Amino acid sequence: MTTLTALEEVVDRHGRATLADPIALTGALRSLATPPPDADIADLAGVSASGAVERLRAAVEAGARPQEARAEALRGTTGDRAEWAVDQLGAALGYLPRGAEPVAKQSNSNRTLLIAALVVVLLGAVGTVVVFSANRDTASGPVEPTAAAPTTTVAPTTTTTPPTSSTTNTSSATTPRAAFTDPALLKVAEPYLDRAGVKCEVADPQVGVQESVLCDLGSGIAASFRKLLDPQQLDALRGVLINDNPSALPGSVRSLRWEYVPGKPGIRTGIPVGTPRKGDGARVRFLDPEHQLSRLYFDEDATGVAVLMQATTDDQQVLRAFWADPDA
């Protein structure tokens, strides 16, 4: 376990505020099964005690660029490893770059609009199924969100608005599996379907989407399963979710590659940042800005499948564990 992954584990277990409290941070790091070296813990605690985390957060929320926010955080810090400690704390909180996948620049404006529309569709779809889940015992069919998803900015003067209830159409399936027609999409979803009370709805595919299914997976978790027409769209889609995500609480975005666990079909695990393994796709976790509910996006390189999950809790550990193995 690297120092960065240790800090991320602390955030997941004890909350983001722990990194701004040097005493709590020290205790949380030392309680890990594999804690960082004592020297690293001391350097991190020292920078935390200087108020660097609060300065970093304030700068990011004020709209500063990462390097500007980093410079502001370093004001008032001391020690030879202050820069290293700020980088580690900032990356663990999502305020500073942490080795996320490079994002391919899109030169075609139509392609940019398409990807932005895909993001809006993904982020808006979970709201649909969450409301449906809450009303499933009293409603005869799917229920649309009571409010539109946030508008996504795709250019300085251009915005794309998500589809409204007049453009979204869902139909019930007799069993969760019956909602899926594409074998690749069903294979990705299958580990989550063998649970009591799971209910899935077929949704009309939107722009750039071949097939779309919304599911209430039980335990307060909803998901949108999408098969894109072009798997190459995934790189740009990831880029928007990581770098320009209007539905993410500032600083809450974390991304890494993931892979299937060998010999365990359907079980997934994240690949620690810096580990030289390609994996099977990308995973992006974040909190929504309004209620700070946990959201998790993942996709699969080979198939163009993209999935967005949302839990009715702000505990990111719960959703991450469910994503990896819903039967654990």
| Cβ atoms of residues 304 and 234 within 8 Å | yes
The two tokens of residue 147 are: 């409010």
pLDDT of residue 283: 94
pLDDT of residue 73: 93
Burial of 250 from C-beta contacts in 10 A (0-12 / 13-18 / 19+): middle
Distance CA 12, CA 25 (A): 13
pLDDT of residue 151: 35
- Residues whose CB falls within 8 Å of the CB of residue 285, separated by 6 or more in sequence, listed in order: 252, 253, 254, 255, 294, 295, 296, 297, 316, 319, 320
Tens-digit pLDDT string for the chain (328 aa): 689 888 988 887 888 889 999 999 999 999 998 899 999 999 999 999 999 999 998 988 888 888 898 999 999 888 889 999 999 998 888 788 764 333 333 334 444 444 445 555 555 555 544 444 444 444 333 333 333 333 333 333 333 333 333 334 445 557 899 999 999 999 999 999 988 889 999 987 677 788 999 999 988 899 999 998 888 888 888 888 888 888 888 888 888 899 999 999 889 999 887 788 899 999 999 988 888 889 999 999 999 999 999 998 888 888 999 999 998 7
pLDDT of residue 205: 66
Question: Among 140, 144, 152, 141, which Cα is nearest to 127's?
Answer: 144
| Cα angle 102, 106, 112; round to 5 | 115
Distance CA 8, CA 92 (A): 5
How many residues are present in the chain? 328
Report if pTM > 0.85. no
Question: Among 35, 212, 46, which Cα is nearest to 124's?
Answer: 212
What spatial distance separates the first Cα and last Cα of the chain, rounded to whole Å?
A: 22
Instruction: Give me the residue spans of the domains in the chain.
Output: 3-93, 109-324
Residue recorded with tokens 């020290």 = 26
Query: How high is the mean pLDDT of the chain?
Result: 78
pLDDT of residue 275: 82
| Cβ atoms of residues 111 and 170 within 8 Å | no
Q: Which residue type does 111 have?
A: R
